[in-house]
Structure 1
Amino acid sequence: MTTVILECISTLSISAQQLRRFPKLLESGLLKEMPSTVKDQDVPNLFREPYIQAGYRPTDQNWKYYFLSLFQKHNESVNVWTHLLVALAVLLRFRAFVETEGFIWDALSIPLVLYILASLTYLTCSILAHLLQSKSELAHYTFYFMDYVGVSTYQYGSALAHYYYSSHQAWYDKAWMFFLPGAAVLGWMSCVGCCYAKYRYNRPYPVMRKICQVVPAGLAYILDISPVVHRIIVCHVEDCSDRAVWYHSLQIFFFVISSYFFSCPVPEKFFPGGCDIVGHGHQIFHLFLGLCTLSQLEAVLLDYRTRHEHFTTRYGPTLTQASCLSFFLLIVCTASTAYYLRQKIKQKLEKKDL
Structure 2
Amino acid sequence: MLRLDLAAVLECHPDKQIQAATPVLPCQAAMTTAILEHLSTLSVSGQQLRRLPKILENGLPKMPCTVPETDVPQLFREPYIHTGYRPTGHRWRYYFLSLFQKHNEVVNVWTHLLAALAVLLRFWAFAEAEALPWASASTLPLLIYVLSSITYLLFSVLAHLLQSQSELSHYTFYFVDYVGVSIYQYGSALVHFFYTSDQGWYEHFWLFFLPAAAFCGWLSCAGCCYAKYRYQKPYPIMKKICQVVPSGLAFILDISPVAHRVALCHLAGCQEQAAWYHTLQILFFLVSAYFFSCPVPEKYFPGSCDIVGHGHQLFHVFLSICTLSQLEAILLDYQGRQEIFLQRHSPLSVYVACLSFFLLTACSTTTAALLRRKVKARLMKKES
Give the TM-score band, short-chain normalised: over 0.9
1:27 Cα deviation after fit: 4.2
Post-superposition shift, 1:28?
Answer: 4.4
Following superposition, the deviation at residue 234 of structure 1 comes to 1.0
- Report how far residue 129 of structure 1 moved: 0.1
Aligned length: 333
Within the candidate set 181, 187, 192, 1:162 is matched to 192
Matched with 2:202 is 172
Alignment partner, residue 341 of structure 2: 311
Equivalent residue of 2:163, what SS? helix
Q: Does 1:97 align with 2:141?
A: no
Query: What displacement does 1:144 show?
Result: 0.1
Per the TM alignment, residue 93 of structure 1 is displaced from its structure 2 partner at its CA by 0.2
Are 1:234 and 2:264 counterparts?
yes
How much does 1:305 deviate? 0.6
Q: Name the structure 2 match of 1:273.
A: 303
Equivalent of residue 214 in structure 1, options 244, 263, 271 = 244
Counterparts of 2:69 and 2:119 in 1: how far apart (Å)? 35
Amino acid at match of 2:162: L
Measured in 2, the distance between the counterparts of 1:78 and 1:45 equals 22
Indicate whether 1:253 and 2:283 are aligned: yes
Q: CA deviation at 1:207?
A: 0.3
Distance 1:61 1:170 in 2: 57
TM-score when normalising by structure 1: 0.92
Deviations 1:289-347 (A, max 9, x none): 00000000000000001100110000000111011100000000000000000000000
Name the amino acid aligned to 2:120: L
For 1:135, what is the secondary structure of its paired residue?
coil
Matches within 5 A, 1:94-133: 94-105=123-134, 106-133=136-163
2:233 corresponds to which residue? Answer: 203
Structure 1 stretches lacking a partner, 5+ long: 1-20
Task: Sort the Cα spacing of 1:24 and 1:315 in 2 relative to 1 into closer, same or farther, 3 A.
Answer: farther
Among 5, 14, 39, which residue is 2:68 paired with? Answer: 39
By percentage of residues, which structure has more helix? 1
Whichever residue aligns with residue 185 of structure 1, its letter is F
Identity %: 66
Change beyond 3 A, Cα 1:26–1:333? farther
| 1:246 partner amino acid | W
Tell me which of 68, 87, 95 is aligned to 2:97.
68
User: Residue type matched to 1:50 in 2?
Assistant: P
User: Where in structure 2 are the equivalents of 1:278-297 lying within 5 Å?
Assistant: 278-297=308-327
Residue 48 of structure 1 aligns with which residue?
Answer: 77
CA distance 1:295–1:272, change in 2 (3 Å): same
Partners of 2:127 and 2:64 in 1: CA distance: 44
Q: CA RMSD in A?
A: 1.3
| 1:78-100: CA deviation from partner (whole Å, max 9, x where unpaired) | 00000000000000000000110
Distance 1:270 1:244, change over 3 A: same
CA spacing shift, 1:199–1:23, aligned 2, 3 Å: farther
Task: Rate the CA distance shift 1:318–1:25 in 2: closer, same or farther, 3 A.
Answer: farther
Q: 1:23, 1:71 within 8 Å by CA — same for their partners in 2?
A: no
Deviations along 1:136-165, whole A, 9 cap, x unmatched?
Answer: 000000000000000010000000010000
Q: Which has the larger radius of gyration?
A: 2
- 1:23 CA drift (Å): 8.2
- After superposition, the Cα gap between the structure-2 partners of 1:196 and 1:64, relative to the gap in structure 1 and judged at 3 Å, is same
Is the contact between residue 142 and residue 342 of structure 1 (CA under 8 Å) also seen in structure 2?
yes
Deviation at 1:240, TM superposition (A): 3.5
Taking a change above 3 Å as real, the CA distance of residues 68 and 178 of structure 1, as seen in their structure-2 partners, is same
Label 1:23 to 1:278 Cα distance change in 2 as closer, same or farther (>3 A): farther
1:40 alignment partner AA:
E
Q: Secondary structure at the match of 2:133?
A: coil
Deviations 1:181-226 (A, max 9, x none): 0000000000010000000000000000000000000000000000
Relative to 1, partners in 2 of residues 1:198 and 1:48: Cα closer, same or farther, differing over 3 Å?
Answer: same
Q: So what's the TM-score if we normalise by structure 2?
A: 0.85
Aligned to 1:18: none
Q: 2:116 aligns with which of 87, 94, 104?
A: 87
- Aligned-partner Cα distance in 2 for 1:286–1:164: 27
Distance 1:121 1:171 in 2: 29
Give me the whole-angstrom Cα distance separating, in 2, the residues matched to 1:264 and 1:104: 44
In structure 2, the partner of 1:17 is none
Residues 248 and 299, structure 1, Cα contact 8 Å, conserved in 2: yes
Q: What is the CA-CA distance between 1:271 and the residue it aligns to?
A: 0.7
Using a 3 Å threshold, how does the CA distance of structure 1 residues 154 and 24 change in structure 2: closer, same or farther?
Answer: farther
Question: Mean alpha-carbon deviation: is it higher for 22-31 or for 176-185?
Answer: 22-31
The residue number in structure 1 matching 2:377 is 347
In structure 1, how many angstroms separate the alpha carbons of the residues matched to 2:308 and 2:268?
Answer: 44
| Offset at residue 284 of structure 1 (A) | 0.3
